[in-house]
Structure 1
Amino acid sequence: MAVCATCRQPGITPGEHACPGPQYEDVVFTRHRGHAITVDTAPERTRISLHALLDRYAYLHMPDEQTIVFADQVVYRITGYDAGTLELELVEDWRPAPGIQLPLTDEEAAEIKAKWKEQHGNAHAVHPVVVLNQEDQP
């Protein structure tokens, strides 16, 4: 079965598929006073101006020549260039899954500790510990 490489529509036949082309959306950030920024929306495809790469407050870096990391949360691969903008495709999303609340409440922490002790026993080492470099005292 043929799949369009741009819109990923399955079951296409040559000549009958009218692909709209890649759809680009904006990456949406939220700046938190006194804390780091968070990426609220990370679309599959986006564009970024070359001038943004020069902005020292842009919260992005390029670990290599084909990759851009936004706020240490999402990773994009450079797929093209058009009129002063880079075309990007989402590769990795390191943001926490929705619904995870941090920090844990005391009850949740106690529950996790109880499960750990139940599964792994006490806090003693499983294998005997041999102390190295200990001098004998008289």
Structure 2
Amino acid sequence: MTEYADIVFTRHKGQGITVDTAPPRTRVALQALMDRYAYLHMPAPDVIVFADQVVYRITAYVEGALELELVEDWRPAPAVQLPLTDEQAKEIKARWKEQHGNGQVINLVEVPKVEGSGA
């Protein structure tokens, strides 16, 4: 059985819409094509482009909904943080030490001891 999931969008004030999740297969109600606020266009009769970021091909029409299959994903690849090399770690530690000193306490703060409560 084919699994369908929703396309997830985020609307950014003054910047438009981004596609957060683009599943391999999804269903869209026909009413979505008529919604003037839906950020989509159809460059061909069997293709729908959402937010100029993902391209779906229409594969079927079932009970008032179009079944779609992801064809292209134009979103930028997520940034991946690779582990630091030993050299990079040493450089970061050296810069931190240079900016923040040698780890010695500059101002010693003494906290007065409170002996018993006089209440």
TM-score scaled by length of structure 1: 0.57
Which residue, 89, 97, 106 being the options, matches 2:69?
A: 89
Partner Cα distance (1:70, 1:37) in 2: 9
2:59 to 76, 79, 84: 79
Where relative contact order (Cα < 8 A, 6+ residues apart) is larger, the structure is 2
Pairwise mapping of residues 5-24 of structure 1 onto structure 2 (< 5 A)?
A: 21-24=1-4
Segments of 5+ residues of structure 2 without an aligned counterpart are 81-119
Alignment of 1:6-45 (within 5 A): 21-45=1-25
Greater percentage in strand: 2
For the pair shown, the structure with the greater C-alpha radius of gyration is: 2
| RMSD across aligned positions (CA) | 1.0
The normalised TM-score by structure 2 is: 0.66
**For 2:45 and 2:2, how far apart are their aligned partners in 1?**
22
2:64 maps to amino acid: G
Q: Using the alignment, how far apart are the partners of 2:48 and 2:67 within structure 1?
A: 11
Gaps of 5+ in 1: 1-20, 101-138
Count residues with an aligned counterpart.
80
For residue 25 of structure 1, give the secondary structure of its aligned residue in structure 2.
coil
SS for the counterpart of 2:33 is: helix
Instruction: State the percentage of identical aligned residues.
Output: 71
Q: 1:54 aligns with which of 9, 34, 39?
A: 34
What amino acid does structure 2 have at the position aligned with 1:82? V
Deviation at 1:99, TM superposition (A): 1.0
Paired letter, 2:30: L
User: 3-state DSSP class of the match of 1:53?
Assistant: helix
AA in 2 matched with 1:32: H
Runs of at least 4 residues off by over 6 Å: none
Secondary structure of the structure 1 residue equivalent to 2:77? coil
1:14-72 deviation per Cα after TM superposition (whole angstroms, max 9, x unaligned): xxxxxxx1100000000001111100000000000000000011000100101000000
